[in-house]
Amino acid sequence: MKYSSIILFLVLFTACGSFKKNKELYYTSKEEVAVDMNFLASDALQGRDTGSDGIEKAATFTEQIFKTNGVKPFFETYKDTLTNYEQPAYNIVGYLKGKDKSLRNEFIIIGAHYDHIGVDTTAIEDQIANGANDNASGTTAVLEMAKYFGKTKSNKRSMLFVLFSAEEKGLLGSKHLAQKLKGQNLDLYVMLNFEMIGVPMVDKDYLLYLSGYERSNLAAVGNGYAGEKVVGFLPKAKEFSLFQRSDNFPFHNVFNAPSQTFSSFDFTNFNFYHQPGDEVELMDFEHMTNVINKMIPVVEKITNAENREIKYN
């Protein structure tokens, strides 16, 4: 190696190193997770019932985060009005165009429902079901990933960041959006959904389980991208057919593209499912931060892989 090429090599090596470091700077922190969670699960939002003033506040909060981080509206505005629900209800849809000309027609959807069940006026003490775990936690994952990709613009494929409304009314927001996008001939590569990631599982050698685990190679490919076992199989998820019980399912039905949900609610680690006790104080921000920061590079590799490596079996 000539002296000049050694110098060139050193310069390139240093540049690559600092770029990697810069990207990690944009990973989320416990503090940022806390800001999202404390707002979304606060009493001021009154349990984020679909069509309520409370969920409207969550919508505005989300739009603000998209806007300040360079995530654009996919439709005319961020709000995608549901056509299958009587009260005004909106999904929030953010868009990042892929930077690779030949891949940008392919889309990755990162989603979570941001609605919850609202207020139970018959309850004697606490009437507000704050929905911290279900699903302020998944919403926070989407928001923090939107921030990361909005700042780095590192995605070769195009991305949609979606907060679904009316999940608790029967997956209405996702049913509406899946049909609408299909009508526009969107080319969906994968749909990755986040549900109840606020509390870690006990005695597992993985951080998240995947619904519909055996249907695709997503867990295997994802763990390969992560370089460690982040995602695993939870038998209970199969037993309770969780694959069919969240917003991934309409995308599976309409597109037949890999559409699956990541979660760390294992039926033993949280006793307040759909209860007023689903409070932010019970959430483990350290776990959430870890989950999000392990998933960011996985999602990045999904958006940037030369070929579509994730497939249904």
- Residues that bind Zn ion in the complex, under the rule CB under 5 A: 134-135, 195
Bridge-based pairing state of the strands 208-210 and 79-81: unpaired
- Could you give phi then psi for residue 75, rounded to 5 degrees? -95, -160
Nearer to Zn ion, 96 or 192 (CB): 192
Smallest distance, Zn ion to C-beta of residue 274, A: 9
- Both tokens of residue 25? 């700077």
Nearer to Zn ion, 13 or 273 (CB): 273
Smallest distance, Zn ion to C-beta of residue 265, A: 9
Smallest distance, Zn ion to C-beta of residue 263, A: 9
Nearer to Zn ion, 137 or 290 (CB): 137
Nearer to Zn ion, 49 or 134 (CB): 134
The Cα 70–Cα 149 span in angstroms is 9
Nearer to Zn ion, 263 or 289 (CB): 263
Nearer to Zn ion, 103 or 197 (CB): 197
Nearer to Zn ion, 167 or 284 (CB): 167
Smallest distance, Zn ion to C-beta of residue 299, A: 20
The Cα 155–Cα 162 span in angstroms is 16
State whether the Cα torsion 25-149-42-169 is positive or negative: negative
In the numeric block, the tokens 């199989």 are attached to 233
Measured CA distances, 125 to 119, 266, 273 (Å)? 12, 27, 17
Smallest distance, Zn ion to C-beta of residue 135, A: 4
Smallest distance, Zn ion to C-beta of residue 244, A: 13
Smallest distance, Zn ion to C-beta of residue 309, A: 28
Q: Which of 137, 150, 117 shows the shortest CA–CA distance to 49?
A: 117
